[in-house]
Amino acid sequence: MNVGVIGVGNMGKHHARVYSEIEGVDLVAVADLDKNNGRRIARKFNCRYYDNVSRLLDTENLDAATIAVPTSMHRDVALECIGHGVPVLIEKPIAESVASAQKIIKQSEKSNVVVCVGHIERFNPVVGMLKTLVRQGKFGKIIAINTKRVGLYPSQISDTDVIVDLAVHDIDVCSFILEKGPESVYARAGKALNSKRFDYADIFLSYDGVDVIVQVNWITPVKVRELTLTGIKSYAELSYINQTLRIYKKGHGEDVDIVNIEEISLRKEEPLKKELKNFIEYIKKGKGDVVLGGDGLSALHVALTAIRSHEKRQSVQL
């Protein structure tokens, strides 16, 4: 499989690295407007460099490509790749607007070209395990999910806000675990340290009886990536960063305060490597665990609706 990476900045450079490590995959080229960075990455992974996407697509015979350019460029680059018959994995979010996402999906279906979206947290081992335990009834009826994804402002972000950049992760994860989308959204957001875009938000999602609170910001001086799930039988604490999952359950005995704590054993794995392996496998066989364009569109729609909710100062039905 000959693959290319379009955009080798903060995230794209890791795609280039992982592709170069996957057996049966040949990273043949990268493209980036920053010539110094693009050439450096190309030298590092022994592939060709292009400063123009069209030239890359016209010259190379690609079997797949990652699109990791700024969000505002996703639609145009994706449509050009689809026009060349190249399956793509677009780093989340799928696009900057619902209309752009819909255009990508429509064109992919018309051209019969695979479009996946890089919602990387789905491929974190702890997320898959939590979903399995939910399906097995480990928690009984689920009451609530709380997520926290906070840290300092990433300097490479220049065309989106914290809701579309960060909250979209947890929106997708919660829908993935609960196997349905939210019915309504209420959000409050603000611009504490950045006058141009939202840098903090608290989002309340209603999932048919399950209350979900998503907290994100680019203000907290420590990186936190956590999720907790409350069920009537037990409670879960999940760390995306440490890939740990801890289950708390009321114990049996005379002491009403007895709580049994279970550390779920997991084999740690790099989520991006699993994601890209699945992407390649999906292209080859047409099946497997990937995030298709429709799911990427759904997560984006909820994130953008959260912004609208903040602007209206009211809950919005989805």
Work out whether strand 210-217 and strand 259-263 pair parallel, antiparallel, or are unpaired: unpaired
Measured CA to CA, the distance from residue 89 to residue 95 in angstroms comes to 12
Class of domain 121-268+300-317: alpha beta
Cα angle 83, 70, 311 (rounded to 5 degrees) comes to: 110
Phi, psi for residue 304 in degrees, rounded to 5: -70, -30
Provide mean pLDDT across the span 205-234: 97
**Sheet of 115-118, strand order:** 48-50, 26-31, 2-6, 64-67, 88-91, 115-118
Give the chain's largest Cα–Cα span: 74
The pLDDT score that the predictor gives to residue 81 is: 98
The pLDDT score that the predictor gives to residue 195 is: 83
Q: Is the pLDDT of residue 301 over 80?
A: yes
Residue found under tokens 């939202």: 198
Neighbours of 305 (CB within 10 A): 23
Residue 49 Rama label (left phi>0; alpha psi -120 to 50; beta): beta
Provide mean pLDDT across the span 274-303: 96
Confidence category of residue 181, pLDDT binned at 50, 70, 90: very high
With b for 16 or more beta-carbon neighbours within 10 A and e for fewer, the 214-242 pattern comes to: bbbbbbeeeeebbbbbbbeebbbebebee
C-alpha distances out from residue 18 to 4, 21, 22, 270, Å: 12, 5, 6, 10
Residue found under tokens 């797949």: 64
Work out whether strand 224-231 and strand 142-150 pair parallel, antiparallel, or are unpaired: antiparallel
Element (H, E) at 185: strand 184-190
Q: Which of 238, 211, 215 is nearest to 144 (CA)?
A: 211
The pLDDT score that the predictor gives to residue 247 is: 97
The pLDDT score that the predictor gives to residue 194 is: 84
Mean pLDDT of the chain: 95
Measured CA to CA, the distance from residue 293 to residue 179 in angstroms comes to 16
Confidence category of residue 277, pLDDT binned at 50, 70, 90: very high
Q: What is the pLDDT of residues 252-262, one digit of tens each?
A: 655 667 789 99
The pLDDT score that the predictor gives to residue 89 is: 98
Neighbours of 205 (CB within 10 A): 27
SS3 category, 236: strand
Neighbours of 6 (CB within 10 A): 29
The pLDDT score that the predictor gives to residue 128 is: 97
Give the CATH H-level superfamily of domain 2-118: NAD(P)-binding Rossmann-like Domain (3.40.50.720)
Domain range summary for the chain, segments of one domain joined by + = 2-118, 121-268+300-317
Contact 155, 278 (CB under 8 A): no
Q: Is the pLDDT of residue 173 over 60?
A: yes
- The rounded percent of the chain whose pLDDT value lies above 90 is 92
The pLDDT score that the predictor gives to residue 252 is: 63
Q: Is the pLDDT of residue 298 over 70?
A: yes
Q: Do domains 2-118 and 121-268+300-317 have the same CATH topology?
A: no
pTM of the model: 0.95
Contact 83, 111 (CB under 8 A): yes
Both tokens assigned to 51: 């400063």
